Amino acid sequence: MSIPVSRAILPALAGGFVVFAVTLAAADALNFPTVRTDLSADTLKRVRDVTRPTADFSKAEPYEAMQGGAATSIDPITRDIFSQPSANLNQEQGQDFHLGNALFRKLWVSAPSSTQASDGLGPLFNARSCQSCHIRDGRGHPPETAGAAATSMVLRLARPPVTPEEERAVRDFHALNFPDSTYGVQLQDLAVPGLAAEGKVTVRYSEEAVPLAGETVTLRKPHYGVTDLAYGPFEQTTTLSPRIAPPMIGLGLIEAIPDADILAHADPDDTDADGIRGRAAMVRDHRTGQLALGRFGWKAQNASVRDQVADAFLNDIGISTPDQPNAYGDCTVKEARCLAMPTGVQKRLGDTEAPGPILDLVTFYSENLAVPARRKASFPDVVHGKEIFYQSGCAACHTPKFVTRDDLKGSDGKATAQAFQLIWPYSDFLLHDMGDGLSDGQQVGVASGRDWRTPPLWGIGLTQTVSGQQAYLHDGRARTLTEAILWHGGEAEKARNTFANLPQGDRQALINFLESL
């Protein structure tokens, strides 16, 4: 059977408060499909065969190196490898990608400015451009030195509901949580001239030695705080959740995974008794208000790439868009001087500082940052490390592969770059309890303080190359992949302990496998 590369790369298509867990039955009641509807019965069977976890660790699987299907970048590995476009874009789409890239890197300035198409920054903000946080479209990191700007790490602020009305809003998915009454949903540590920034993030670390066979690993536990609060104290129940910027690659492919295939891995009641209780995050689409499956953000709080982009424009840069039209960003009524500052809205350009075409192009760019091809996927030590990855239980949450939807069409009626691709993200995109060690104490919708979305692993081995350093987990505390694994607790504690008890050579083989992704 011949499958055009522009169509797909598929091997062997022959043959605090209450957490509201979403079960498959609940998903069905909410009109979420539990079976794919974009495929014929015959094709569905073949897709299931293709995505079934392998049991053959004698060699690499067919097409395994092409992690993003036909969209995979096979460009040489450089520090800019995360900034390449989907390989299957046509010429017109390639032009839109490069326009989106320019806007992603654009430095916004405070209003009023002579460069009216670029003003509107803030008034309170964390960065002047998307690229400032997502360095070369890669992973962020915590402040490197005491007093340094956080830049690629933010502190999300939230409190739990305190009234029956607020509890109902969370239960009905109309709110994820509630902002601090003074500082809003996020601490902005920068401000336009004439306005005081909200405060500065502080972080200090305590260290703990973990003895393993053949080596000792030191884990650093972060302790966060805020100094120089400019507008008074936080509310007593406000929690601080540090979040580094995640890598940008493969986002459009993640959005193209059918809801039914993600929900098929959910097991909130642990019916198979394996200790893994993946739960789906249900959220409201910011434009339609309809319920959707959350799959983006550290706690799966956004359902689409567009939602993620609009949220970042508003809260990180203070730029309004048609989806988030507040030109004052995250300013609150208690920050009166912030609300008195000029905005960048130019009526001749529209009602927002970043009109629809800008949001569209940045979203398109974000959807089409290509996943790089694997390195050394067939090397014996890497294949051995993959076997250990499976045997240790890592694949229970880091689901290796999916096939994206077959019914994705662009405005021209043709299949998009993300349609019907075999992809290898190594994530189930569900929420999992990761234990007290990683808890931030902050509820986000159905996610408790201990819950985190399984992050995709593709590209993780290129972190040092792209970012110039290594910083893993939601707050960048882990400086190596080994440290990141050793921080796993809760549902992942059994897999963590299995890794910790391996001989040093087997641990290194597993790390070699991760570094090949």
Mean of pLDDT over the chain: 92
DSSP code at position 353: S
pLDDT of residue 30: 61
For residue 456, count other CB atoms closer than 10 A to its CB.
26
**Which pair of tokens denotes residue 272?**
């198979």
pTM: 0.93
User: Is the pLDDT confidence value at 142 over 60?
Assistant: yes
pLDDT of residue 287: 85
Per cent of the chain over pLDDT 90 is 86
pLDDT of residue 288: 87
Q: Convert the pLDDT of each residue in 110-126 to its tens digit.
A: 998 877 778 899 999 99
pLDDT of residue 514: 98
Given phi > 0 = left and psi -120 to 50 = alpha, else beta, which region is 184? left
Judge whether 457 and 425 are in contact, CB under 8 Å.
yes
pLDDT of residue 335: 98
Helix (H, G, I), strand (E, B) or coil at 282: strand
pLDDT confidence tier of residue 31, bands split at 50, 70 and 90: low
**Which pair of tokens denotes residue 85?**
């476009």
Q: What is the mean pLDDT of residues 386-399?
A: 98
pLDDT of residue 207: 96
User: Is the pLDDT confidence value at 27 over 90?
Assistant: no
Task: Report the distance separating Cα 351 and Cα 432, nearest Å.
Answer: 40
Q: What is the mean pLDDT of residues 170-198?
A: 96
pLDDT of residue 239: 97
User: Is the pLDDT confidence value at 11 over 50?
Assistant: no
Q: Convert the pLDDT of each residue in 320-350 to its tens digit.
A: 999 999 999 999 999 999 999 999 998 888 8
For residue 340, count other CB atoms closer than 10 A to its CB.
12
User: Is the pLDDT confidence value at 3 over 60?
Assistant: no
pLDDT of residue 114: 76
Q: Convert the pLDDT of each residue in 210-266 to its tens digit.
A: 999 999 999 999 999 999 999 999 999 999 999 999 999 999 999 999 999 999 999
Q: What is the mean pLDDT of residues 88-94?
A: 96
Which stretches of 208-320 are DSSP H helices?
A: 251-255, 259-263, 305-312
- 300 or 5, greater pLDDT: 300
pLDDT of residue 430: 98
pLDDT confidence tier of residue 32, bands split at 50, 70 and 90: confident
pLDDT of residue 146: 64
Q: What is the mean pLDDT of residues 360-378?
A: 98
For residue 151, count other CB atoms closer than 10 A to its CB.
21
C-alpha dist (Å) from residue 126 to 198, 244, 293, 315: 10, 12, 28, 8
List of residues 6+ apart from 364 with CB closer than 8 A: 93, 96, 97, 100
pLDDT of residue 18: 36
Q: What is the mean pLDDT of residues 363-376?
A: 98
- 146 or 371, greater pLDDT: 371
Concatenate the DSSP letters of all residues of 431-493 into one string.
EEE--GGG-----BTTB-TTEEEPPP-TTGGGHHHHHSS--BSTTS-BSSHHHHHHT--GGGH
* 65-79, 275-289, 368-382, 498-512: range with lowest mean pLDDT: 275-289
Closest CA to 481 of 513, 457, 511, 516: 511
Closest CA to 220 of 210, 228, 230: 210
User: Is the pLDDT confidence value at 283 over 90?
Assistant: yes
pLDDT of residue 22: 44
